[in-house]
Structure 1
Amino acid sequence: MNPPIVQTISECFIKPQFQTEEIKPPIQLAAWDLCMLSVHYIQKGLLFNKPQTTTNDQENPVKSLITRLKDSLSLTLVHFYPLSGRLATLKQENPPSHSVYIDCNDSPGAKFIYAIANLTISDILSPVDVPVVVQSFFDHDRAINHDGHSMSLLSIQVTELIDGIFIGFSANHAVIDGFSYWQFLRILSNTFGAQEKNPGIPRPPILKRWFPNGHGHIHNLPFSHHDQFISRFEAPPLRERIFHFSSESIAKLKAKANSQSKSSKISSFQSISALVWRCVIRARRLPRDPETTCIITANNRSRMDPPLPNEYFGNSVIRLIGKASVGQLLDHELGWAAWRLHEAVEGHSDAAVREWVEKWMEDPVIYTRGPALYNPYGLLMGSLMRFGIYENEFGMGKAVAIRSGYANKFDGKVTFYPGCEGGGSMDLEITLPPETMAALESDGEFMDGLNGNF
Structure 2
Amino acid sequence: MEPSSMVRVVSSSTVKPRPRPRHRIPLTSWDIAMISTGYIQRGLLFHKPSSLPAFHVVDHLAAALGDALCDYYPVAGRLVTDQHRDELGNVVGCSVSIQCDGQGVEVVHAHADGVSIADVIPHDADVPRVVQSFFPLDDAVGFDGHELPLFVVQVTELVDGVFVGFVCNHVLADGTALWVFLNDWARIARAKLNLAVPVPEGESPLPLTSRQAPLLERWSADGGTASPIVLPYAEPSELIERPESPQLRTRMLHFSAESLELLKELARTELHAAGDTEGAAALTRFQALSSLVWRCITRARRLDPEQETTFRAAINNRARLRPALPAEYFGNCIDAVSTERPVCASMLLERGKHGWAAAAVGRAVAAHTDEAIRAHVAAWMTKPVVYTTGWHDPHETMVVSSPRFDMYGCDFGWGRPLAARGGRANKIDGWVSLYPGQDGGDSMDAEVSLTPEHMAALEQDEEFWAAVSKGAPART
TM-score by shorter chain over 0.5? yes
- Is this contact kept in 2: 1:31–1:218, CA < 8 A? no
Matched residues in 1 for 2:48 and 2:326: separation?
Answer: 37
The alignment status of 1:224 with 2:234, answered yes or no, reads yes
- Shift of residue 296 of structure 1? 1.0
% identical aligned pairs = 41
Q: Say if 2:29 is the partner of 1:31.
A: yes
Q: CA deviation at 1:289?
A: 2.1
Question: In 2, Cα distance between the equivalents of 1:245 and 1:170?
Answer: 26
Q: How does 1:356-395 map to 2 (within 5 A)?
A: 356-371=376-391, 374-395=392-413
Matched-pair contact (CA < 8 Å) for 1:258–1:265:
no
User: Helix, strand or coil for the counterpart of 1:190?
Assistant: helix
Residue type at the aligned position of 1:307: A
Q: Deviations over 1:189-225 (max 9, x none)?
A: 0000013653323301000001111884233201123
- Corresponding position of 1:57: none
What is the one-letter code of the residue matched to 1:108?
Q
Q: Which amino acid aligns with 2:219?
A: W
Q: 1:409 aligns with which of 412, 418, 427?
A: 427
Correspondence for 1:259: 269
The root-mean-square deviation of aligned C-alpha atoms, in Å, is 1.7
Match of 1:56? none
1:108 — aligned with what? 103
Q: Please state whether the residue corresponding to 1:47 is helix, strand or coil.
A: strand
The counterpart of 2:333, out of the listed 311, 316, 331, is: 316
Matching residue of 1:450: 468
Q: Relative to structure 1, is the Cα distance of residues 187 and 261 closer, same or farther in structure 2, using a 3 angstrom cutoff?
A: same
CA distance in structure 1 between the partners assigned to 2:223 and 2:5 by the alignment:
54
Q: Which residue does 1:166 correspond to in 2?
A: 163
2:389 alignment partner, SS class: coil
Structure 2 residue aligned with 1:123, among 119, 124, 143? 119
Partner Cα distance (2:237, 2:327) in 1: 34
Counterpart in the other structure of 1:19 = 19
Whether the aligned pair in 1 keeps the contact of 2:24 and 2:100 (CA below 8 Å) is yes
- Cα drift, residue 324 of structure 1: 2.1
Which whole-Å CA distance do the structure 2 matches of 1:227 and 1:210 have between them? Answer: 24
Does the C-alpha gap of structure 1 residues 219 and 320 become closer, same or farther in structure 2, counting only changes over 3 Å? closer
Q: TM-score, normalised by structure 1?
A: 0.93
Say if 2:219 is the partner of 1:199. no
Q: Aligned letter for 2:383?
A: D
Aligned residue in 2 for 1:176: 173
1:385-427 C-alpha deviation (Å, 9 max, x unpaired): 1121101111221111111111111101001111111121111
Q: Distance in 2 between matches of 1:394 and 1:219?
A: 38
Indicate the residue corresponding to 1:143 in structure 2.
140
Q: Among 340, 350, 361, which residue is 1:341 paired with?
A: 361
C-alpha distance in 2 between matches for 1:104 and 1:383 = 27
User: In the TM superposition, what is the alpha-carbon distance from 1:264 to its structure 2 partner?
Assistant: 2.5
Amino acid at match of 2:67: L
User: Equivalent residue of 1:4, what SS?
Assistant: helix
Instruction: State the shift of 1:449 in Å.
Output: 2.2
1:302 equivalent to 2:319? Answer yes
Q: 2:445 and 2:223 mapped to 1: Cα distance?
A: 43
Structure 2 Cα separation of the partners of residues 219 and 251 of structure 1: 45
C-alpha distance in structure 1 between counterparts of 2:142 and 2:291, whole Å: 31
Please tell me the residue identity of whatever aligns with 2:168: A
Q: Is the 8 A contact 1:258 1:266 kept in 2?
A: yes
| Partner Cα distance (1:268, 1:219) in 2 | 38
> Which moves more between the two structures, 415-424 or 165-174?
415-424
Q: 2:14, 2:107 within 8 Å by CA — same for their partners in 1? A: yes
Query: Hey, what's the Cα distance between the residues in 2 that align with 1:448 and 1:314?
Result: 39
* CA distance in structure 2 between the partners assigned to 1:214 and 1:427 by the alignment: 37
Which ranges of structure 1 fall in alignment gaps of 5 or more residues? 54-59
Task: Determine the structure 1 residue equivalent to 2:182.
Answer: 185
Q: Residue type of the partner of 1:7?
A: R
How many residue pairs get matched? 440
- Which letter does structure 2 place at the counterpart of 1:326? A
Q: For residue 365 of structure 1, what is the amino acid of its counterpart?
A: V
Task: Determine the structure 2 residue equivalent to 1:49.
Answer: 47
Provide, for residues 292-316 of structure 1, a one-character-per-residue CA deviation record: whole Å limited to 9, x for no partner: 1111111000001110111111000
In structure 2, the residue matched to 1:67 is: 59
CA–CA distance in structure 2, aligned partners of residues 218 and 356 of structure 1:
18
Deviations 1:231-274 (A, max 9, x none): 01222211000111111111111111122112131111110010
Over 3 Å counting, the alpha-carbon distance change for 1:214 and 1:265 in structure 2 is: closer
1:77 to 39, 60, 69: 69
Letter in 2 for 1:398: R
1:103-158 deviations in whole A, cap 9, x for unaligned?
A: 122x5301110001111011111161111111110111111010000000000100
Residue in 2 aligned with 1:96? Answer: 92
Greater Cα shift, 134-143 or 224-233: 224-233
Tell me the distance in 1 between the aligned counterparts of 2:436 and 2:396. 24
Deviation at 1:327, TM superposition (A): 2.2
Q: Which amino acid aligns with 1:28?
A: P
Name the CA distance, whole Å, in 1 between partners of 2:334 and 2:255.
26
2:474 aligned residue:
none
* AA of the residue aligned to 1:283: A
Tell me the SS of whatever aligns to 1:73.
Answer: helix
* Range with greater deviation from structure 2 (151-160 or 260-269): 260-269
SS state at 1:390 partner: coil
Q: Give, in angstroms, the shift of residue 281 of structure 1.
A: 0.2
Q: CA separation in 1, counterparts of 2:39 and 2:414?
A: 26
Instruction: Return closer, same or farther for 1:228/1:20 CA change in 2, 3 Å cut-off.
Output: closer
How far apart are 1:288 and its partner, in Å? 2.0
Contact in 2 for aligned 1:320/1:345 (Cα 8 Å): yes
Alpha-carbon deviations, 1:45-104, whole Å to 9, x = none?
000011125xxxxxx522222111111000000000000000010114624311110112
Aligned partners of 1:226, 1:378: CA distance in 2, in Å? 28
Alpha-carbon deviations, 1:334-365, whole Å to 9, x = none? 00000000000110100000001011111111
Partner amino acid, structure 1, of 2:390:
G
d(CA) in 2 for partners of 1:218 and 1:36? 16
